[in-house]
Structure formats: C-alpha cells, structure tokens
Amino acid sequence: MNADNLALAALNTTAFLLCVSFLLYVVFIMRPFLARADGVPGSRAGYDVHLVVPCLDEELVVGATVRHLLGTFPETTVWVVDDGSTDLTPDVLADLVDQFPQLRVITRRAPDARRGKGAALNAAWAAIGAALPPGADRHRVVVGVLDADARLERLAPDVLCGYLVDPRVAAVQLQVRVTDDVDGLAAADLASLVEAVDRPVRRRDTWLVQLQDLEFTGPIAAMQSLRRRTGSVGMGGNGQFTRLSALDRIADEFGTPWHGALLEDFELGLHVLLTGSRTEYCDESFVAQTGLPRVRPLLRQRSRWAQGSMQCLQYLWRIVCSPQVSLPGALEIAYYLWVPWSQLLGSVVFPAAMAVQVWYMTHTGDGVGSWWSGGAWGLVPLAALFGVLPHVVWGPVYRARTGGSVTRRRAVALGLLNVVYAYLLQIAVWWAFTRILRGRRDWKKTTHAVPGAGRPDLPPPGRAPRRDQPALYAAPPSTEAWPAEPPVVARTPASATGVLVADPPTAAPTSRPRPVPPRAAAPAPPSVSPSVPTSVPTSVPPSVVTSMVAPAAGPAPDVVDGPATARIPRVLTSRPAAPWPPARPAVPRPDEEPPS
C-alpha cells in the first residue's frame, strides 16, 4: 500500500471511529434519560440554606434576582459577591441591603477583585463560615451558587434536599432551563412544565434561546442521567448546591474549594469525587436563566466552557488512579474531557474526508453519475445516521420532556436547527484552543440581559434601558413617604482585619445620610446569628468588605423615592406601568395544531 492510500485509509478510519463513538454515546445517554424515575421527596426543614450570587457589573439584573430569592425563600440567607463592579451594582446592592435583613453583600476590591468566579466563591465560603455560630452543624449547611440573572423554582430547595438525605451525597446540581422570560418560567406550575397536559402552555422564546434550552434539557440532562449511574455527575455554574462540610474538606485537602480553571464548577465536582463523596443531579425542579439571543455572546460563553474543560484535563490521571472514583465514572469523565479535543479533530477530519470524496467524484471513472451508481449513494444514509440523526432526535425529545411547550412542527424545526447549532459551537472550541496557544487565561464574562428583554417595550439585550423605559431592578413602587429624619448607617473599618462592618444606627449623622426604610424583620435562618459581628476571622481576605445591615423594625412599605435611591437613576428603581407577564392568549384545543 502506497503512502497516498495509507493516508486515505487513516483519514476514513478516523472519521468512521469518531462517528461511531459519538453515535454510541448518544445511545448510552438516551437510555437512562428516557427511563427517568422520580426522585426522593424532600424538605428543606433542618437545613440552613445559603444562596451565593457572584456578580460583576450586573446593575441590570441583580436587583430583580435578589428580590426574587428573598421574596420566594425568606428563610434563606443570600450572599451577593460584588467582584469589583464599576457600574451601579454597588448602589443597587446598598439600597437592597437596607431593606432585607437576610441579604449579605461581600465587596471585593483590587487587587483581589476580578480574578475569576472561583476566587469570588472562595470569598463567600470564608464569609459564610465566619458568620456561622460556634458548634453549627456544617454538614447540614447547604451553599447554593446562582447566576446574577437566575430564578430558582419555588420547590427547588425542598426537592434537592431529598437527595441530601443520603449522607454520602455532598453536592447536587439542579437542571438548568434557558428562556427569554425567567420570571414567567419560574412562576409557572412545575407539573405543566414536565408533563403533557390537555392545554399545555406554549412558549415563544426566540429560536436561538430555545436551542439553548433544548441543549440543557436534552443532551446535557441526558449526560447527567448517565452520570448518575456511573457516579460522576458534574457540577454547573448555575444551580449547584454543596454541603459546607464538603467545601471544608476540599479546602483542607486542596487548599480552597474552588480553583483557577475557567470551568470552576466542573472542577469543583471533580474535587468532591476525589474526596470520597458523591454528586447527584436533580431534574425534578430547575433554575432558570436568561438565554443569549445573539451568536457572538453565545460563542464567547462556550469558548470559556471549552477552555475550562481543556484545563481540567490535568485531573484525568488523578481521576483514573483514584480509589474514590469508580471505573465507569472515570471512563465517563475521560470521555467528557476528550470531547473538545475530538471536536477539534473532527472539524479537520470530516471536511478533509468530504473533500477527498468530491475529488474522487470529479476525477475518477466516468464522472459523477458513474461514481454515484457505483455505490457512492450509500454515503448519504451514513451521513444522515452519523451526522444528522443524533442531533435531530432531540427536537421531539425536548417537546416530550417539557410538557408539550412547543408544537410538533416547532419541535421538528428545532431538531433540524440543532444540527446547525451543534456544528456552530465548534467555532467556540477553536476559539478556546487559540486562547490556550496564546496563554490567555482571563475570565470571558457573560453579559446578562434584562429578564424579558424580548419584550417590545424593553431595549435590546445587553444594553441599558433608555431613560423613558422603566424597569424594576432595585426598589418597588412607592406608596409611602420616606421618614423625615431617617436613621444613619455608618460603616467603619475594623482595626484588626481591615474589613468594613456595619455600625448601629446613630441619631446624629456623621456621614452622608442613608435612610433605612422601616420593614418587618424576617425570621433569621435557624443556625445563623442575626446579630452583626464586631470582628471577622482572619480567613476573610482584607480586601473583602462584608455589609450586614439589619433594617429597623416596623411595617414593610413599598418605596422608590428618597435619599437612599437618589444616587440610582429612576430607570433602575421603578416598575413598568403594565403588568408582566401579559395575559396568556387563548390556547387551541388539543386536537388542533397551532401555527408554529
């Protein structure tokens, strides 16, 4: 065999093996996914839940997220980590901290700020540990990580705590849903989102956003279903919940809970497994996030994920050799870490194989007709089997798993578009690979758009609203006047640690007045002291500023105007005149097929 034939055989064999391995993996993940069983019922009673929201320049979304979390889960403590924001995020958080006793704001300053999400989460871990009373059961303290635009389904804490009944389970990953209207999705009846009903709620997200939702509720959820059986469930950046004791154990063994990879969530899951604990995946509930409606921000986000996955390849040998990880789990993790590299290889091999076939078609035999009749037609069903079917099948599966939220025609269209979507994301892998070659490790932040940005009365995603377009971010509508002489909260540095803590309100103002609107104090978490600490252990970095301000007792007014919000433009503190979401249109009968 000459060199040309050998090269051609190697090319065709590589392409065939890549196709077969991908098809087999789809079959492997589909079987446990379709045979899904209900989880163990649970209750958050007895658990101390802390929700961490890292944010950087999130003035458009963080206020609404904090209000959602504290309004839906008043018994939890919300920790917002401001990682050196330069927009109005600090002002929005300062206004919120005056209104919610369960809110804690951790402000990171240079030079420690903007060093990646993992560093911000480590600061939250240190602050949560410092705030717990002595003797707290850290095994029953649960730390959840949410994006700045996240909406947590109201039953999610109870559902995920059902998995924590097993003491071996240290971390649980919630299913992620992607939508244009996170508030509407999070407020919907959970049963209508997962079960086929007579009158399903039709969703009209944009095509690109719905493809992202298909990806999370289809292939990614199926991968996690397989990982539940192999014992290798991966953590995600949004909706991960971990026992504080597990984070402590990782810190004792590896230095800190989160590390420097750009895929810090998956890296955390690997460390949980290496310390001998189990991870679980919960798809009975979900956390919703706003989708990316444009291609470039999507590729930017996925390039960070791909680069983080490539960085985590350094753990492969440790995973394979670890007695704490089962052989099926190690094999599944190895395949996942191989995926971005296989995409790089496939993006070269498949076009090269196609080019060779075109050359043979035009330069050998009696032309195209002879080449086709000679058996080349068999390449068409092979291409459909290996390159199209594994992507198209997720359209109907998506419709079945989301309670018929899309029509049959739209489900088929989503499946066909998923072929283009899957190959489009290979651009992100090359983007990540070039960053690795250039030695770039900086964090490529995802810009979160305003929830409901697809509405005609709001600006395009990623842009600030115009001054004449009201939107709710920090304070609710005004119905009462502000106090004439509000109490003042002054923050002074603690001499020992350099951490700023809140002083009690004083009668005589010593700095710029900041009113504290009277609100009824919500019940404190069962194992968290509501008092303000006078010192912070040295485990908290000096560059971290922790604001823990308890508002004065009294009736809870809805306020928007006053000195505390004067520094925030009205566009960030007022509510739209029209209610949202709008009234649902009439839904056709089950036997009628609505237009797609």
What stretches of 275-407 show up as alpha helix (H) in DSSP? 295-311, 316-321, 327-363, 368-373, 379-383, 389-392, 394-401
Q: What share of the chain in percent tops pLDDT 70?
A: 67
What pLDDT was estimated at residue 14?
Answer: 82
Position with higher pLDDT, 365 vs 256: 256
Residue 364 has pLDDT above 80, yes or no: no
What pLDDT was estimated at residue 492?
Answer: 35
Give strand pairing partners of 528.
none
Query: What is the spatial distance between Cα 202 and Cα 408, in angstroms, rounded to a whole number?
Result: 11
Give strand pairing partners of 105.
80, 547
Position with higher pLDDT, 534 vs 86: 86
CB 103 within 8 Å of CB 97: yes
Residue 457 has pLDDT above 80, yes or no: no
Report the range of poorest mean pLDDT among 6-20, 102-116, 508-522: 508-522
Q: In what order do the strands lie in the sheet with 240-243?
A: 151-152, 278-290, 169-179, 240-243, 141-145, 48-55, 77-82, 103-108, 544-547
Instruction: Let me know if residue 572 belongs to a domain.
Output: no
Report the range of poorest mean pLDDT among 173-182, 397-406, 510-519: 510-519
One-character DSSP codes across 8-33: HHHHHHHHHHHHHHHHHHHHHHHHHH
Q: What is the DSSP letter of 259?
A: -
Instruction: Give residue 40's pLDDT band: very low, low, confident or very high (50, 70, 90).
Output: low
Q: What is the mean pLDDT of residues 432-445?
A: 84
Q: What is the mean pLDDT of residues 350-371?
A: 74
Report the range of poorest mean pLDDT among 177-191, 192-206, 219-233, 503-517: 503-517
Residue 493 has pLDDT above 60, yes or no: no
Instruction: Let me know if residue 99 belongs to a domain.
Output: yes
Instruction: Give residue 321's pLDDT band: very low, low, confident or very high (50, 70, 90).
Output: very high
- Token pair, residue 514, equals 């900041």
Instruction: Let me know if residue 52 belongs to a domain.
Output: yes
Phi–psi pair at 127, nearest 5 degrees? -70, -40
Instruction: Let me know if residue 433 belongs to a domain.
Output: no
Stated pTM of the model? 0.75
How many CB atoms lie under 10 A from the CB of residue 344?
A: 17
Residue 21 has pLDDT above 60, yes or no: yes
- CATH number of the domain that residue 273 is part of: 3.90.550.10
- Tell me how far CA of residue 97 lies from CA of 63, 374, 564, in angstroms: 11, 75, 11
What pLDDT was estimated at residue 568?
Answer: 56
Query: What is the spatial distance between Cα 53 and Cα 62, in angstroms, rounded to a whole number?
Result: 8
Give strand pairing partners of 491.
502
Residue 107 has pLDDT above 70, yes or no: yes
Phi–psi pair at 433, nearest 5 degrees? -65, -40
CB 564 within 8 Å of CB 517: yes
Residue 471 has pLDDT above 50, yes or no: no
Instruction: Let me know if residue 511 belongs to a domain.
Output: no
Which residues contact residue 246 at a Cβ distance below 8 angstroms, ignoring those fewer than 6 apart? 170, 171, 272, 275, 277
CB 292 within 8 Å of CB 208: yes
- Token pair, residue 174, equals 């919630």
- Token pair, residue 158, equals 């109870």
- Tell me how far CA of residue 287 lies from CA of 70, 118, 338, 464, 582, in angstroms: 15, 20, 28, 25, 22
pLDDT tens across 498-556, in order? Answer: 333 333 333 333 333 334 344 344 333 333 333 333 333 434 444 454 444 444 444 44
Report the range of poorest mean pLDDT among 192-196, 336-340, 456-460: 456-460
Instruction: Give residue 367's pLDDT band: very low, low, confident or very high (50, 70, 90).
Output: low
Position with higher pLDDT, 377 vs 319: 319
Instruction: Give residue 366's pLDDT band: very low, low, confident or very high (50, 70, 90).
Output: low
Query: What is the spatial distance between Cα 164 and Cα 160, in angstroms, rounded to a whole number?
Result: 7
Phi–psi pair at 402, nearest 5 degrees? -115, 25
Q: What is the average pLDDT score of the chain?
A: 76
Residue 257 has pLDDT above 50, yes or no: yes
Domain that holds residue 77: 40-336
Position with higher pLDDT, 138 vs 25: 138
Instruction: Let me know if residue 250 belongs to a domain.
Output: yes
What pLDDT was estimated at residue 495?
Answer: 32
Residue 278 has pLDDT above 60, yes or no: yes
What pLDDT was estimated at residue 450?
Answer: 62
On the 0-12 / 13-18 / 19+ scale of CB atoms within 10 A, 234 is buried
Total of domains in the chain: 1
Position with higher pLDDT, 430 vs 562: 430
Strands 278-290 and 169-179: parallel
Residue 243 has pLDDT above 90, yes or no: yes
What pLDDT was estimated at residue 105?
Answer: 96
Phi–psi pair at 173, nearest 5 degrees? -105, 125
Q: What is the mean pLDDT of residues 273-284?
A: 94
Instruction: Give residue 140's pLDDT band: very low, low, confident or very high (50, 70, 90).
Output: very high
Instruction: Let me know if residue 187 belongs to a domain.
Output: yes
Q: What share of the chain in percent tops pLDDT 90?
A: 47
Phi–psi pair at 281, nearest 5 degrees? -120, 130
Instruction: Let me know if residue 328 belongs to a domain.
Output: yes
Report the range of poorest mean pLDDT among 34-43, 83-92, 146-155, 314-323: 34-43
Query: What is the spatial distance between Cα 175 and Cα 405, in angstroms, rounded to a whole number?
Result: 17
On the 0-12 / 13-18 / 19+ scale of CB atoms within 10 A, 271 is buried
What Rg value do the Cα atoms of the chain yield, rounded? 26
CA dihedral 109, 111, 116, 120 (to 10 degrees): -40
Query: Can you tell me whether residue 144 is helix, strand or coil?
Result: strand
What pLDDT was estimated at residue 33?
Answer: 82
